[in-house]
Amino acid sequence: MFQLTNKTAIVTGGGSGIGRAISKIFAMQGARVVILDLDQPGGEAVVQEILAEGGQAIFKPCNIALADQVERVVQEIVQSFGSISILVNNAGIAHIGNAENTTEADFDRLFQVNAKGVYNCLHAVLPTMKLAGGVILNMASVASSVGIPDRFAYSMTKGAVVGMTLSVAKDYLNYRIRCNSISPGRVHTPFVDGFIQKNYPGREQEMFDKLSKTQPIGRMAEPEEVAALALYLCSDEAAFITGCDYPIDGGFITLNN
């Protein structure tokens, strides 16, 4: 079950965190993984991990906020492998702030990466994917479903991701293209560790425990848990699923009231 043999999978932001875990589990299940990331050392390190474990992977440096870069990289992938079976729009950036103290520059920066970056990848991949069908998985967030303090711009972008997911699922049914999204709660990634270290020096463990306990289940998710859901949704076992957003949040949405 859950085999991706002979399928080419693009994973944006595959150089760390959730993207790294998705890239590794997809390769483990037989996919040819193409990691798109701005972090060249991180992306190349994940490729080396995959190759050492007997998988197939390559790294392509790419800024998903720039449409011409995305188009060029996607064409290179098609020329190398002939088709693209899976697109995982995972890359994204975070921001803290409400509607008053979020600057226009920050708002635009979040939109360019988290929303337009997803559009750029969809726009580049869909013409090729229409030829043989495929699967698209977008990374949303619980912030698209519930109000989270000081996450104005981030929540805006993740709401857009869910909207794009539903639209693509509807528009491309007849091309045998499925499109779903995942909405994680807090996930223990290097980004979280760096955020705590930067903003709460000397109180790292205290803040880690506090953030963990905001999930009703009592801890953050591990990237591999999100990756397991991604694998299912991109596998043939999920062939009857499209146009859905899947929370993986330790009960955050439904049990935090």
- Residue 207's contacts (CB-CB under 8 Å, 6 or more residues apart) are 196, 199, 200
pLDDT (tens digit, 9 = 90+) per residue, 21-61?
999 999 999 999 999 999 999 999 999 999 999 999 999 99
Q: Phi-psi bin for 243: left (phi > 0), alpha (psi -120 to 50), beta?
A: left
Q: What is the pLDDT of residues 182-234, one digit of tens each?
A: 999 999 998 889 889 988 899 999 999 999 998 999 999 999 999 999 999 99
Region of 42 please: left (phi>0), alpha (psi -120 to 50) or beta: alpha
Q: Is the pLDDT of residue 247 over 80?
A: yes
**pLDDT for the residue numbered 39:** 96
The residues facing 12 across adjacent strands are: 36
Confidence of residue 257 (pLDDT cuts 50, 70, 90): low
Q: Where are the domains of the chain?
A: 8-255
Please count the other Cβ atoms lying within 10 Å of the Cβ belonging to residue 170.
11
CA distance 65 to 70: 8
pLDDT of residue 191: 84
Q: What is the pLDDT of residues 145-164, one digit of tens each?
A: 999 999 999 999 999 999 99
Which position has the token pair 């790292």? 204
How is domain 8-255 classified at the CATH fold level? Rossmann fold (3.40.50)
Which H or E run includes 192?
helix 190-199
Pick the catalytic residue: 154, 172, 175, 246? 154
pLDDT tens profile 85-144: 999 999 999 999 999 999 999 999 999 999 999 999 999 999 999 999 999 999 999 999
Q: Is 232 a catalytic residue?
A: no
One-letter identity of residue 175: Y
- Rounded CA gap, 152 and 86, in Å? 30
Q: Write down the pTM of the prediction.
A: 0.96
**Where in the chain does DSSP place strands (E)?**
8-12, 32-37, 56-61, 86-89, 134-139, 177-184, 245-248
Between the CA of residue 151 and those of 28, 69, 141, what are the distances in Å?
35, 29, 11
Q: Which comes out higher in pLDDT, residue 18 or 192? A: 18
Q: How confident is the model at residue 238 (pLDDT cuts 50, 70, 90)?
A: very high
